[in-house]
Amino acid sequence: MNVGIVGVGNMGGAMAQRLCRQGWTPWVHDVDAEKVRCLMPFGALVPVDVAQAAIESIATIICVVDAAQTRDVLFGPHGLASKLPSGHVVVLCSTIAPHDVETIADTLAERGISALDAPMSGGPARALEGSMSLMVAGADAVVARCQPLLNALSGQVFRISQRVGDGARTKLVNNLLAGINLVGAAEVMALASRMGLDLGRTLDVVEQSSGQSWIGSDRMRRAIAGDLAPRAHMTLLAKDTRLAQEAALQVGFAGPLGASASAVFAAAVAAGLEGLDDAALLTFLLRPKMAA
């Protein structure tokens, strides 16, 4: 199976490396040529004609930031959709709104192209080792065609449903909880700092006690070390928690925590932390104005 990945940032790049380790030879494309070049030593191909490479592949993975970029890749001035053959599968791995997944899938279907709704979770390290979560929604026949690819990408493939869009819904539910957990972890660590506690020792206790969460431990360890190089940009959970709130509004649900967590991420982005890892929430909450 020839396969391509469009968008090889932190997650897409890790997925490409993972496929290379599994004996695949994926072709890769990104607006940032340096990200593409960095994957060549691992065995990834860099096609001169991206459209032709896609035509010769059974599937193209789209791993860009948002729905606008996804539409541009597929339907923009140089979009791939008009060139893809009938039967081709577009694997949508970006975190986007369920209605965007549905409309993109419908537009592809008009051209005889199948869509697989397959958002992912776990971060670049887990993508590289093949332990990230893939939340797969789509027709059984399409899933079966892509099963070897899905299995190569991860040992944690969750079959959600046959309804395209349900993968996106599951991802938003997961990411809203991740956002709530991260805001909570940053809040209590900021409180511990104000109390004069040693943050590393406090986190040791939390990790072995009832307050433990994976994302809290992962991000707060980095924050304590001052390592804010972006593995997951602050903008991503800002986007994802906002999308989750929009999805909640559409079904008439208003929970007590989601909107508050989303507002914290939005405030951190507005405060200039958009280029940092979302671990920088601790930095944000430790600012004097947050203590007022």
Alpha helix segments (H runs only) across 76-165: 98-109, 124-129, 140-153
Which residues have C-beta within 8 Å of that of residue 175, sequence separation ≥ 6?
95, 121, 237, 240, 241, 244
What is the helix, strand, coil percentage profile of the chain, to 5? 55, 10, 30
In degrees and rounded to multiples of 5, residue 137 shows phi and psi of -130, 135
In degrees and rounded to multiples of 5, residue 56 shows phi and psi of -85, 5
Which residues have C-beta within 8 Å of that of residue 172, sequence separation ≥ 6?
95, 97, 98, 240, 243, 244, 247
Q: Per the residue annotation, which of 83, 171, 239, 289 is the catalytic one?
A: 171
Residue (of 93, 35, 108) closest to 61 by Cα position: 93
First to last CA, the chain: 58
- Residue by residue, DSSP assigns 157-225 as EEEEESSTTHHHHHHHHHHHHHHHHHHHHHHHHHHHHHTT--HHHHHHHHHTSTT--HHHHHHHHHHHH
35 as an active site residue: the answer is: no
Q: Which residues are catalytic?
A: 171
